[in-house]
Structure 1
Amino acid sequence: MTVIADFFDALADRWDELCFHAPEKINYILEQTTLHKGLRILDVGCGTGILEQYLLTYAPVHITGIDLSPRMIEEARRKYATPIVDFRCMDIMDLKDEKFDYIIAYSVFPHFEYPDQVIDHLANLLVPGGELVICHSEGRENINGHHNKQANRISFGLPPAREVAALMEPYFHIDAMEDSDQLYMVSGIRN
């Protein structure tokens, strides 16, 4: 885990300049989900808080952002000084005894070595009827190609959406799936 944290720590102060996240694609992804007012949201691998500006427009009760990188969390806290958002530097697998209505794993899933264990853990953090969204605002081929060049030591690859859906199916009803050259998304409602 420290290899991943160190990689992102080294880039944290310029991450928002290095990585473009198309607002129209993020909005499109969120519009395909059940996101609405009054939810307790978990942002897995929140980085510098890329999603928070979008999530806050849905008037959540609370957003918890989790990331392994202390410097990414510092950047996120600098951008969002509101009691509605709580950024924590920790491994998602160490988050226990909390429940959420909506969990989003945006632009983070290739960094999980054991995706089945992560999905199992996230399912246990969701209330029945809650939603898990695993997504990227780029296509899988682009993500994997970029990671193979720039981040191969910290990426385990983004599998086809159908494979992620199969990992989710014991816990979720899959309600949206897209695996195109433009974006990647699998979402499911907790049984």
Structure 2
Amino acid sequence: MVPKFHDYERESENFYDRIASQFDHSFDGFLASFFKRFILKNLKFEQNSKILDIGCANGKLLAMLNDKKKIVGSGLDISSEMIKVAKAQYPYFTFEQGSAQEIPFDNESFDLIICSASFHHFPKPERFLLEAECLLSPNGRLVIAEIHIPFITKIYNWWINRFSTEGDVKVYQPKELTELFNQNGWKINKKKIFLQIQYYELEKNY
């Protein structure tokens, strides 16, 4: 199969710009809500933790975490319309529009970086993992919650390559993600797979 050319970041930006105002009531927002609740249930963090949400959409995950414990929250999203909504809804957090391949925050600024159902949009995942390493404070953690589609992963990836216009790059099998993290110097401290969610807490393996 000859791969179809995609400008993944432009596709993601255009798609999420279109649904930003109604994201929570969209199909994508519905699916994302399961990941948010899973993270809220499983992630342990300290009061006043500095947390960056990559692919933050309208900022709701940061608000949910803040309701659990007070945090210093920041968000990044490729969609400028999503960022407008996030800033309007949660003015007490910091939001920036931009790419996960070149994140516009200072080095060693965060205790936690969260990537919820967004990693499969990144055309250069290794670049994102390097960015995360730079942005985390010593002993900081990277949390990745990703789609889990067992048995039909190859078929699904063929479908999104041919037909998706939402900026989906590929869905990863757990083995692929484990190898990718290990190859880029990350240690898995916690791993859970539950239905359509695969969840990882990582720290840099110095």
Q: Same fold (TM over 0.5)?
A: yes
Q: Aligned partners of 1:76, 1:14: CA distance in 2, in Å?
A: 12
Instruction: Report the CA distance shift for 1:4/1:89 in structure 2 as closer, same or farther (over 3 A).
Output: same
**Which residue of the partner structure matches residue 97 of structure 1?**
106
SS in 2 for 1:78: helix
1:63 to 2:77 alignment = no
Asked whether the equivalents of residues 40 and 100 of structure 1 are also in contact (C-alpha less than 8 Å), the reply is yes
Aligned residue type for 2:191: M
Q: 1:96 Cα shift?
A: 4.6
Instruction: Report the CA distance shift for 1:117/1:176 in structure 2 as closer, same or farther (over 3 A).
Output: same
Asked whether the equivalents of residues 190 and 201 of structure 2 are also in contact (C-alpha less than 8 Å), the reply is yes
Q: 1:91 Cα shift?
A: 1.5
SS in 1 for 2:134: helix
**Which residue of the partner structure matches residue 177 of structure 1?**
191
TM-score in terms of structure 2 length: 0.78
**Which residue of the partner structure matches residue 121 of structure 1?**
131
Asked whether the equivalents of residues 103 and 131 of structure 2 are also in contact (C-alpha less than 8 Å), the reply is no
Asked whether the equivalents of residues 107 and 135 of structure 1 are also in contact (C-alpha less than 8 Å), the reply is yes
Count the aligned residue pairs. 187
Query: What is the aligned counterpart of 2:30 among 6, 20, 43?
Result: 20
Cα RMSD (Å) of the superposition? 2.8
1:5 to 2:13 alignment = yes
Q: Aligned partners of 1:22, 1:86: CA distance in 2, in Å?
A: 21
Asked whether the equivalents of residues 110 and 140 of structure 2 are also in contact (C-alpha less than 8 Å), the reply is yes
Asked whether the equivalents of residues 129 and 189 of structure 1 are also in contact (C-alpha less than 8 Å), the reply is yes
Sequence identity (%): 24
Return 5+ residue gaps in structure 2 as ranges.
1-8
Asked whether the equivalents of residues 127 and 190 of structure 1 are also in contact (C-alpha less than 8 Å), the reply is no
Q: Aligned partners of 2:144, 2:89: CA distance in 1, in Å?
A: 24
SS in 1 for 2:168: coil
Asked whether the equivalents of residues 141 and 181 of structure 1 are also in contact (C-alpha less than 8 Å), the reply is no
SS in 2 for 1:73: helix
Q: 1:17 Cα shift?
A: 0.2
Instruction: Report the CA distance shift for 1:3/1:28 in structure 2 as closer, same or farther (over 3 A).
Output: closer
**Which residue of the partner structure matches residue 159 of structure 1?**
172
Aligned residue type for 1:190: K
Aligned residue type for 1:155: D
Q: Aligned partners of 2:199, 2:175: CA distance in 1, in Å?
A: 10
1:33 to 2:43 alignment = yes
Return 5+ residue gaps in structure 1 as ranges.
none
Q: Which runs of structure 1 show a deviation greater than 6 angstroms over 4 or more consecutive aligned residues?
A: none
Aligned residue type for 1:183: I
**Which residue of the partner structure matches residue 187 of structure 1?**
201
Aligned residue type for 2:149: R
TM-score in terms of structure 1 length: 0.83
Instruction: Report the CA distance shift for 1:51/1:140 in structure 2 as closer, same or farther (over 3 A).
Output: farther
Q: Aligned partners of 2:149, 2:15: CA distance in 1, in Å?
A: 21
Which of the pair has more CA radius of gyration? 2
